[in-house]
Amino acid sequence: MFVLEYIRCPKCKNDVPIMYLFCPYCGLDLRFIIKERLIARLTIRDRLLRMYMLFRDPLRTIEHIASAPDLMGGFIITLLCAMILFCKFVVLFQGHGARLNAIAVGYLLISSITLQIILWISISGIIGLATKMVGGTGSFREILSLVGYCQIYLLPAHILGLSTGVAYVYIPFLIFIAIMTGYGLSYTHLLKKITAILSATISIIVFIVFFYII
């Protein structure tokens, strides 16, 4: 049996069905409250399912992430990417004849996690700036969530980088991350899809030029 769920409007104190984005009594924007309730219900299993579905049905999954953006999923993916990056560093150092003791391994592990977090924040920051310039109205937390989950597409890039040693293998994956993030931003930041996707893609191209060419 279907039970209609309500939320209490913090302004007029009326009970509003959860499918309303704005209070029908006073007009208050309820989207933030609805998102927070949906986020609170997410479990680790839900987040892992999102990661899996980003490969099976990426557009619909991005829409789901946009409806309930969370940072935990992005952090888990950051750690997964960092582990592969760590393996890449170990192989690289050993390939040059370096002997790694426990301290060196620990340093490489911390460096890998730090670099991946910096990459997450940097991509989010430049996309956030571009989104703001085109009139996006959402929060930076939502951008962090979308980019964090889209980092799942860096896993194959890290693996290819590990096997080939070529840095340019990352470029198509970064552009794809921008496209998927832009698609999500069209929901979280109330932008037209083409505007959100183009702004995110152009910003990531600037990011790529800065790191690969300059």
- CA 7, CA 34: separation in Å to the nearest integer? 8
- CA 48, CA 141: separation in Å to the nearest integer? 20
pLDDT at 108: 92
Q: What is the dihedral of CA 77, 78, 83, 85, to 10 degrees?
A: 120
Helix axes 102-133, 71-95, angle to 10 degrees: 130
Say if residue 186's pLDDT is above 60.
yes
Q: For 127-173, what is each residue's pLDDT tens digit?
A: 999 999 999 988 899 999 999 999 999 999 988 877 776 778 899 99
Percent of residues, the chain, with pLDDT higher than 70: 96
pTM: 0.84
Q: For 69-101, what is each residue's pLDDT tens digit?
A: 999 999 999 999 999 989 888 888 877 777 888
pLDDT at 15: 87
Q: For 3-48, what is each residue's pLDDT tens digit?
A: 456 778 888 988 888 777 788 899 888 877 777 777 888 899 999 9
pLDDT at 95: 75
How confident is residue 2, by pLDDT bands cut at 50, 70 and 90? very low
pLDDT at 138: 83
**Which of the two residues, 189 and 29, has the higher pLDDT score?**
189
| Range with top average pLDDT, 22-36, 95-109, 192-206 | 192-206
Averaged pLDDT for residues 108-134: 95
Burial 113-134, CB ≥16 within 10 A → b, else e? beebbebbbebbbbbbebbeeb
Quote the tokens at residue 131. 């989104």
Bridge partners, 22 (sequence order): 29
How confident is residue 1, by pLDDT bands cut at 50, 70 and 90? very low
pLDDT at 21: 74
- CA 192, CA 186: separation in Å to the nearest integer? 6
Quote the tokens at residue 155. 């896993």
